[in-house]
Amino acid sequence: METLADILETTIFEKVAEGFVFTEGPVWHPDGFFYFVDVRDNKLFRIALGHPHELVRATGGGNGTTFDLQGRLINCEGDKRRLTRTELDGSVTILIDQQDGKRLNRPNDVICRSDGTLFFTDPALRVPVQNRDVGEGAVYRLTPDGQCHLVAWVEYPNGLALSPDEKTLYVANTRWTQYIHAIEIDEAGSMVRRKLFADMSIDATNGVPDGMKVDTAGRVYCTGATGVWVFSPTGALIGIIETPEVCANIAFGGPDLRTLMLTASTSVYTLRTKTPGMPVPWYKTRG
């Protein structure tokens, strides 16, 4: 049975930035820096490790981030109930803010598959009932041609990740029951079936199932109560990386993808792992 000692190269957190309200949405850029957001302060930042962080732009409640196949930053903007794309010239394009003529609830997290399909979560709970066009939380897929399709209804969908073979979509459920779904998807990205991958309910309140990433060995890292929970590909709990502050999201980065960035409340931290994280598809196609 694996332990955290088999996974972590270091156990000492390095604080690389601080002074925020609530950090989220980290993603590594191969030019040598991470993006991350301050959700509550509506700002997108970038940071090259060892250097001060820099403001990129204001957001509409920016949260989860990823890159499309052209290296353009995709951002969930919950306050404005939309998914946006930052063009290479810095301008911002609204990718989607409605589904079947109904306003989205509050897009939370987004990932990109190797064919360019974007999967994103849209929880409903934090939108007042009278302002909801879609009454339930959902996971959607947005195809490269701009078509949006429902993948599954979920209680409170939050973080997303794909297995290395892209046949399983992991979805963190944040409220009521705390767990991770494993949704089997077909080539189009439609749900075939789903099951409970991991129960994350414990008697602690310092964190909930939220941001998620997968390493190249298929292990699933998910933020939760007390820190970052690490699971084997079968859903067995390997251990919990206890964090200095409540941690909402994580991302693998650095040239070897073994630097784990943790966006934790008012600060941003890093740890080193022994196994690289799964690369964003754009990394593989970048010239």
Q: Which of 34, 78, 41, 13 is nearest to 266 (CA)?
A: 41
Percent of the chain having pLDDT more than 90?
A: 91
DSSP state of 71: S
Q: What pLDDT score does 98 carry?
A: 94
Q: Which of 218, 251, 216 is nearest to 28 (CA)?
A: 251
Q: Is the pLDDT of residue 287 over 80?
A: no
* 92-109 tens-digit pLDDT: 999 999 999 999 999 999
* 147-181 tens-digit pLDDT: 999 999 999 999 999 999 999 999 999 987 899 99
Q: What pLDDT score does 128 carry?
A: 87
Cα 146 to its chain centre, rounded Å, is 21
Q: What pLDDT score does 203 carry?
A: 80
Task: Find all residues with CB under 8 Å of 121, minimum gap 6, and list them.
Answer: 64, 107, 108, 109, 110, 137, 138, 139, 154, 157, 158, 159, 160, 171
**Helices (H), ranges, the chain:** 281-285
CATH hierarchy code of domain 4-285: 2.120.10.30
Task: Please report which confidence band the pLDDT of residue 243 belongs to, taking 50, 70 and 90 as the band edges.
Answer: very high
> Would the CA dihedral through 43, 29, 273, 198 be positive or negative?
positive
Q: What pLDDT score does 49 carry?
A: 95
DSSP state of 285: H
Specify the pTM. Answer: 0.96
Q: What pLDDT score does 265 carry?
A: 96
As a whole number of angstroms, the distance between CA 208 and CA 70 comes to 32
Query: Which residue in the block uniquely carries the two structure tokens 């989607």?
Result: 96
What is the mean predicted confidence (pLDDT) over 266-284?
97
Q: What pLDDT score does 175 carry?
A: 80
As a whole number of angstroms, the distance between CA 101 and CA 108 comes to 20
